[in-house]
Amino acid sequence: MNEYLPGLAGVPATKSNISSIDGEKGVLAYRGYDIRDLAENSTFEETSLLLLDGALPTQSELDDFDQQLRGERRVKYNVREIMKYLPSSGSPMEMLQTAVASLGMFYGGEEILTDGYEEEDLYYIHAMSVKIISRMATIVAMWEHVRNGYDPVEPRTDLTHAENFLYMLKGHEPDPVEARIMDACLVLHAEHTINASTFAAMVCGSTLASPFLVIAAAIGTLAGPLHGGANQRVVEMLDEIGRPENVKDWLDMKLADKEVVWGMGHREYKTKDPRAIFLQKMMVEYAEKKGNLSPMFETALALEEACEKELGSKGVYPNVDYYSGILYTEMGIPADQFTPIFAVSRIAGWMAHWREQLKDNRIFRPTQIYTGYDFRDYVPIDKR
């Protein structure tokens, strides 16, 4: 194939049985299970094991995996010390990439990768998946306290993954409704085929690099506003609009200037993102519990309606970023922590693709279409 397709749009990069998308019908499935069923009925722990192993676990398998995750929540004090010396005003995603990459130095010496997927590889891959999935949440929660000058909250083993994350993040036991929302958000964001950050993980993994470096590569890719950073931009956009009555004039101006409406449109979906549908449903339920719709949510609903009139014919509808940031804002989570929370979830999919890549590994080496000079003679510097 010699045709150049910018962004590798539509070019198959691998074979995978982890997740699938039907963009026309607006369906996302993990291992064949509709994301709406999983978000409604599953947990992040169960969904993670489904993504890693390929099947819904038995109760004993899930209990064992859950206990493994709970037992790996702590990180060595060296990691905390590194975090203390990072600028408090710095990007949480840059902190996360730094901290995750450093884990390999403190938990190294266990690497067993034969490039042949032997039995010892499976044990190593599973062990590393548990360690990194569990500690990703710990590091993100720790940073919220460290950057404000406080010692981090110690993790607890008597809480679920979502409950413990919110407990460490806020310093108190979470409201059960908020814990349920967080758990569902983690399920919804856990996997989404070969997106940019997953592809980065696969490329790095194909070199047999340490899994900590594999995930650091994925984190760096997720950080961009065209990928994981969009939900923060949505909240900033809604703050800029202010009120529902301002929507029409704001949208007309943006469309006239051909500017981005954050959270609208997706390369895979020609209809509303199924994850956005579920997030909107949770936002309504949360608003009913609180007794009122927030101004931000009201503005978002008005903007979605206006965008559907102007852009619906082009297949532009809300994506997962549109409502996730609003939910996190309502739960009192700082906007710059939205993308790190994305990583807390997506780590399950990244580890699943890392495992799948190693099973039939071949290092990625795409080609290019050269557009430079023909061969030229070197000219000495005194004759240029």
Closest CA to 66 of 45, 85, 51: 45
CA angle 202, 135, 273 (to 5 degrees): 55
Are 132 and 347 contacting, i.e. CB atoms less than 8 angstroms apart?
Answer: yes
Phi-psi region at 193: left, alpha or beta (left = phi > 0; alpha = psi -120 to 50): left
Are 306 and 251 contacting, i.e. CB atoms less than 8 angstroms apart?
Answer: yes
321 is catalytic: yes
189 is catalytic: no
Rounded to whole angstroms, how far apart are CA atoms 194 and 187? 17
Are 21 and 27 contacting, i.e. CB atoms less than 8 angstroms apart?
Answer: yes
Q: Mind giving me the DSSP string for 139-164?
A: HHHHHHHHTTTSPPPPP-SSS-HHHH
Closest CA to 200 of 86, 350, 325, 383: 350
Catalytic-labelled residue, pool 189, 266, 273, 353:
266
Which CA distances in Å does 48 have to 34, 61, 62, 104, 280? 15, 12, 10, 22, 23
Catalytic-labelled residue, pool 321, 360, 374, 382:
321
Rounded to whole angstroms, how far apart are CA atoms 104 and 135? 12
Kindly list the catalytic residues: 266, 321
